[in-house]
Amino acid sequence: MNLNRAIFFSVLYASISFLCTYPVFGQGQALKLWYDKPANAKIWEEALPIGNGRLGAMIYGIPQREELQLNEETIWAGGPYRNDNGHAKGKLRAVQQMLFQGETREAEKRINEDFFTKTHGMPFQTAGSIILDFPGHEEFQDYYRELNLENAVALTRYTVDGVQYTRETFSSFADDVIIMQLTASKKGALSFDLSYTSMAKHRIFSHANRLILEGRGDDHEGIAGQIVYQTHAAVKSRDGKVSLTGNKLSVRDATSVRLYISIGTNFEDYTSVGADHVQRADSKLQEAMKNSYKSAIKKHIAGYGKQFSRFKLHLGQAEEAMEKPTPVRIQEFQRTQDPSLVTLLTQFGRYLLICSSQPGGQPANLQGIWNNSTQPAWDSKYTININTEMNYWPAEVTNLSETHQPLIQMVKELSESGKGTAKILYGADGWVAHHNTDIWRVTSPIDFASAGMWPTGGTWLTQHLWEHYLYTGDKSFLRRIYPVMKGASDFLLTTLIPHPAHQEKGWMVLAPSISPEHGPLSAGVTMDNQLAFDMLTRTALANEILQEDVDYRKRLCAMAKRLPPMQIGKYTQLQEWLEDRDDPKNEHRHVSHLYGLYPGNQISPYRTPELFEAARNSLNYRGDLATGWSIGWKINLWARLLDGNHAYKIIKNMLTILNSDNKDGRTYPNMYTAHPPFQIDGNFGLTAGVAEMLLQSHDGAVHLLPALPNVWHTGGVSGIKARGGFEVDIDWVHGDVQKVVVRSAIGGNLRLRSYVPLHGKGLQEAQGVHTNYLLHPAIKGLDAVIASDATLKGNTLRKVFEYDVKTVPNRNYSFTRAN
């Protein structure tokens, strides 16, 4: 394989930017969540989220008693710890033998005893709330509140006794504090009291014109709470009187007031907690209060907008529907089929990712950065058997590459902490992580054997590093993260063992393992094989690109060839396990064996049509109704199956209101998606799924509108990205591409795939196999690993036209539909 030459020509990640005559750029009014009544004080999912990556708040917008429920990304229970069980040393071979002999229950019992501890991860915790009490505001009129996705500012407005009151709030991307401006239309009409509420161990005191809450993260499962934090609240008022008495800050007879909220913790990194939390909170507040409000909000919008404005989407709109409050639009969606609501939910996912994941910080967890509990569902930690990965599916394709950095940093840290776990539990080289981790980067299994004995969590996470490289073509980045990839592969090389039932085939498997959250304890499960294949072959590709050790590369490829191929079972399904044990009536939420279809690229309608059909059958068997995050995955899977109408059917299942009248809904009034309860991965999965319906770049070409549903017959997208350093704009009419503009960041050959013929300068009909490996990263000679002996009647695919164009860096290329 000649990858050095291939990499130069095939770094293909098309990001097409759209110059379209449709009202995409005039959609400002559309990109707002708005409401004609306050949030219910008891329903957190009616409040509106703001965040700047580190600081989050949920704003209720209640006139008489406003609540800002606060979060800071490093407030977790416990402190630096490990969860390795030393009793596991030397026990692996015995457990494997039990498993291969069919003694599954005994193997599970031994694993629970010897491989697990009593610590199952620390919870992410709320920082408490700031309460603003407004005497006399119980009776109000002309109420309105909104969250503007284009500027990341929340607004509340209402009238009391002829006076209009306005609250404007944002978590500043420039000053790293939360700022609220409160105004009254009548001079001296603004009075309120500010106080704190908190479920944590805390004390409240005043100092230097500030009201301060000092709290501490909880002890949890025998791990002492070591996070200490302070929240500082201060106000600046043009007039009126500000006073501090006991546990309360009071403002009287003012006209305009600015509230500043700063939070600092003692967290340094996953190994230490020695930072000065007081200085952190104090310094940020002092600096922020020096600026005028006009300057502060301008800098905030500029910082946030630099990311949000890159990607624009127009799927059509229903004017009548758009005039209604957001919960009503969701409730009526099944009738209206308003495409602008899908646009809003898609952009809301990008908003949430920007607001919960920024360079230098922590990755978005199970709830992003928003959590009102000290004991949230599933600890709101990092579930890395799908949920954490799904959080970052939109990062590259929707032009938010920098939001990926916190996850990439976490993977680097896991590669450090996971070395000890690999040695203790498996006697292996490299590093390993299982199905859960937290801010302290624990890597041993959590929960119990049939849920947590899954050794490929780190293997999956490491694919995100490779994907970032494919989208950017950044070779210096690849060199920095190559040791992480090598460590993940070293674990596989020293842990894969021969399957005794398939000795004649020489198959190597991981054991013990599970198909995530869908037991039983097994060996050689399909998802493990797919992940191991990607890890080994992608590390081999990186090895050649960087001109590393050739012998090591040969070892990687040799092991990849010994992985079991995907199997097609008796129900014409893609088998979830090595054994043919799938139940076509089982509608389990996890579809782990379809990783090879999405987000992987091992299953293709063009290269592996039998597996493609088998994957479709498996997905049909699992059904269309699911938990919110599973719906998010299924949208992407149906998009990869090139079935836009079915993908849209799944979107419709997501856009069902969850409220007191409908407990089976999947979208809350504030557009959070529901497991239920709330998990943010559903939001991120949907955003990625819509992008996947509009552009794909994983299968040897940049495919334009691969899975466009009939209902989105006319529209446009700009700033969508493809592998290989491309940015793409597309507009379409009656479902067909009309115009495409491609911006190439790094140059190289671009292969375009379209359902209609295209015309443009430099465009040539495609010839032969595409040489740009960034579009189809595979190693020659290993296709047999993803092949099958089964013969099925393949589905008829729509005819495609393929073109090549040689691109140079930093240049635009424009194409139109040919007559």
Angle between helices 550-560 and 475-495 (to 10 degrees): 60
pLDDT tens per residue across span 91-117:
999 999 999 999 999 999 999 999 999
Query: What's the whole-model pTM score?
Result: 0.95
The helix (run of H) or strand (run of E) holding residue 487 is: helix 475-495
For residue 186, pLDDT beyond 60? yes
Comparing CA positions, the residue from 448, 387, 345, 392 lying closest to residue 589 is 387
Q: How far is residue 271 from each of residues 79, 80, 204, measured CA to CA in Å? A: 8, 5, 29
Domain range annotation of the chain: 3-26+693-817, 35-83+119-148+151-308, 357-376+387-565
Residue 61 has pLDDT above 70, yes or no: yes
**How far is 817 from 721, CA to CA, in rounded Å?**
20
DSSP state of 734: T
Report pLDDT for 779.
58
CATH number for the domain whose boundaries are 3-26+693-817: 2.60.40.1180
Dihedral (CA of 52, 55, 58, 63) sign: negative
The gap from C-alpha 699 to its chain's centroid, in whole angstroms, comes to: 22
What pLDDT is attached to residue 3?
Answer: 33
Where do we find the tokens 């198959």? 507
Residue 700 has a CB neighbour count (10 Å cut-off) of 24
Whose CA is closest to 369, among 73, 36, 3? Answer: 73
Both structure tokens of 175:
């000053």
For 318-362, how does the pLDDT look when each residue is reduced to its tens digit (9 = 90+)?
878 888 999 999 999 999 999 999 999 999 999 999 999 999 999
Has domain 35-83+119-148+151-308 been given CATH number 3.40.640.10?
no
Mean pLDDT, to the nearest integer, of 377-404? 98
Q: How far apart are CA 583 and CA 188, in angstroms?
A: 70
Average pLDDT, rounded, for the chain:
93
CB 77 within 8 A of CB 125: yes
Question: Residue 793: its pLDDT value, please?
Answer: 53
pLDDT at 683: 98
- Percentage of residues of the chain with pLDDT beyond 70: 94
The mean-pLDDT minimum among 60-69, 122-131, 300-309, 770-779 falls in 770-779
Q: How many other CB atoms are there within 10 angstroms of residue 663's CB atom? A: 9
> Which amino acid makes up residue 768?
G
Q: Are strands 736-744 and 241-245 parallel, antiparallel or unpaired?
A: unpaired
Residues 48 and 61 sit within 8 Å (Cβ to Cβ): yes
Q: How far, CA to CA in Å, does 326 sit from each of 288, 344, 632?
A: 33, 10, 20
Q: What is the distance between the alpha carbons of residues 324 and 36, in angstroms, rounded to a whole number?
A: 9
Instruction: Calculate mean pLDDT across residues 542-546.
Output: 95
CATH for 357-376+387-565 (3.30.110.30, 3.40.50.1000, 1.50.10.10, 3.50.50.60): 1.50.10.10
CA 745 to chain centre: 24
Percent of the residues in the chain that have a pLDDT greater than 90, as a whole number: 90
The Cα–Cα gap between 174 and 568 comes to 54
CA distance 461 to 408: 8
pLDDT value of position 797:
87
**For 536-542, what is the mean pLDDT?**
95
Handedness of CA 291, 293, 297, 298 (dihedral sign): negative
- Asked whether the predicted pLDDT for residue 563 surpasses 90, the reply is yes
Handedness of CA 782, 788, 791, 795 (dihedral sign): negative
For residue 758, pLDDT over 70 is answered with yes
> Mind listing the pLDDT tens digit for each residue in 680-714?
999 999 999 999 999 999 999 999 999 999 999 99
**CB of 696 closer than 8 Å to CB of 717:** no
Q: Which helix (H) or strand (E) holds 297?
A: helix 293-308
What does the DSSP 8-state code read for residue 35? E
